[in-house]
Structure 1
């Protein structure tokens, strides 16, 4: 059996320094991963929400342009125009919900930052531990995240619904008067 001639103090100091280096590596890796994922998530969410604003807003503008073309004719059937015009509200609601989803997305990111900031770095394994307000921040983060996703899907649903109503109003102007 090999004899260990290292004094207990030196061994304890070496173990402490090794643990400290491991902790620093873990802290840095966690921070780097968080920044990468957070940046990618924010960019993807912003693109999706901006797209919802654009498609709903563009649909409303397209309907207004169509109605302008119809209004330029000598004989105007106001029932047909009213049926098509009534579909604009669905796109307007879609834009409003997309903007609300953007606000909820901001709150999601804000509470995620609070969640991460509430963690404490330690020099003992596991090196990162939950702070006293971690659960509160995390609950708010989950709530805002779910709300943002649901509101975004409803915005998309309003776009699809508005498109079907518009299509029906243009094809069957007299049948769509119950909108």
Structure 2
């Protein structure tokens, strides 16, 4: 059943808002994971090579943050493919569009989880490596 004028406008505005929120979420994931990775690399870079304990203690968190950034970029790609596969002119939703939509949400949640794991790894790295 085709949408009338008011329903079409409402659907269009909801779609625009959804895309805007998803773009903000993707940017946030890149920002928090990327910023944390840069902070850890900067901190590690300030230590002389003789103090390997702190470098080893923080390398796990750096890996979590880096993979989180990569996944956030992948989420952006999935979001693009999802919008491409959703056929807005006929109202039909492609199965592949739904697949990429779900994949993007799952990868975004994994990226956020990796950020939390990286924070915990950095905490444990600092408390363990800086003990006398």
TM-score range, shorter-chain basis?
0.7 to 0.9
Tell whether 2:97 aligns with 1:141. yes
Contact 2:26 2:72 in 1 (8 A): yes
Q: CA deviation at 1:117?
A: 1.8
So what's the TM-score if we normalise by structure 1? 0.66
Matches within 5 A, 1:11-50: 26-50=3-27
Partner of 1:102: 76
Match of 1:6 in 2: none
C-alpha distance in 2 between matches for 1:102 and 1:168: 31
Asked whether 1:157 is paired with 2:113, we answer yes
Show the 5 A alignment for 1:11-90.
26-71=3-48, 76-90=50-64
Dislocated runs of 4+, deviation >4 Å: none
Partner of 1:126: none
Q: What's the offset of the Cα at 1:109?
A: 1.6
Cα separation, 2, equivalents of 1:82 and 1:70: 12
TM-score (norm. length: structure 2):
0.87
- Indicate conservation of the 8 Å contact 1:56/1:94, yes or no: yes
Distance (Å, rounded) in 2 between the aligned partners of 1:63 and 1:152: 22
Compute the displacement of 1:70 (Å).
Answer: 2.5
What is the Cα-based RMSD across aligned positions, in Å?
2.2
> Going by fraction, where is helix more abundant, 1 or 2?
2
- Larger of the two Rg values belongs to structure: 1
Q: Which consecutive residues of structure 1, in runs of 5 or more, have no partner in the other structure? A: 1-22, 120-133, 175-179
